Amino acid sequence: MSEQTYEISTTLDVTGLMCPMPLVKARKAIMDLEVGQVIEVLATDKGSIKDFQGWAKVAKNVELLAQNEKEGGDTTIYAHVVKRTK
């Protein structure tokens, strides 16, 4: 993941969904973006961390810019920031 600034174009809230749904919904949502736009995906499934890393390695149309943990009350929220590249 590169150190850069980015502007989030949209946020997709998939909290409460378990694998593979956060990634499935993100893959669908990324196709609605223009090339260069950035989506932030909010998930509660800890497995989404590795899912998004794997997706970014094999997909030819995305770049994983950042992954962060945010406290969401009793639940940890995992924020994945993905850029559409093609």
Are the CB atoms for 77 and 71 separated by under 8 Å?
Answer: yes
Annotated catalytic residue: which of 6, 13, 15, 19? 19
* Residue 21: active-site member: no
Helical H runs in 1-86?
A: 21-30, 48-58
Burial class (CB in 10 A: 0-12, 13-18, 19+), 66: middle
> Annotated catalytic sites, by residue?
19
